[in-house]
Amino acid sequence: MSNQAQRRRAFTLVELLVVIVILSVLGGFLVPNLLRHIGKSKVDIVKPKMAMIEDAINRFYLDVERYPDESEGLEALVENISDAAGWGGPYLKRSQIVDPWGNPYIYILDGQINPGSFDLICTGADGQEGGEDENADIYND
């Protein structure tokens, strides 16, 4: 094999730099969109998780004939912390009473959104009240 044939088999520095630039440009467009979709998918998970918690609270209500009070909170669904008669749990796993960002759901008995019942609130990605987009608070219906 000649010297010229051996040289041609390897990539030149210019070719490698062109590939790196192309990948960087593509990454610059794709990564922000991908991260936005990941955040949106977590927001989309909140409502079904809230529905599951609401179902567990209603099963607690059927067994104990009352909703968990605010001092018990959602912990009453995981363990019988107040020795409630008729408790048939655990109704949920501990991992199910936190939102997709790892923050606990807020439980309010006799809520403002659902008077005579309870409110569940997810404070969003920032874990703070208020906010916009994926930081916005999400309430049960």
Is residue 101 within 8 Å of residue 135, measured between CB atoms? no
Phi, psi of 139 (to 5 degrees): -110, 155
pLDDT of the residue at 56: 93
User: Nearest CA to 118 among 30, 58, 36, 76?
Assistant: 58
The pTM of this model reads 0.68
pLDDT of the residue at 52: 93
Q: Which letter does DSSP use for residue 108 in this model?
A: E
pLDDT of the residue at 39: 65
Domains of the chain with CATH codes: 3-139 (3.30.700.10)
Phi, psi of 19 (to 5 degrees): -60, -45
User: Nearest CA to 114 among 94, 96, 139?
Assistant: 139
pLDDT of the residue at 77: 92
pLDDT of the residue at 38: 65
pLDDT of the residue at 2: 56
pLDDT of the residue at 36: 66
| 141 residues of the chain, pLDDT tens digit each | 556 555 567 778 888 888 888 888 887 877 776 666 666 778 888 888 999 999 999 999 999 999 998 888 899 999 887 888 888 879 999 989 898 888 999 898 887 887 888 888 888 888 878 777 777 888 887
User: Nearest CA to 33 among 45, 41, 21?
Assistant: 41
**Residue 13's Cα: distance from chain center in Å?**
45
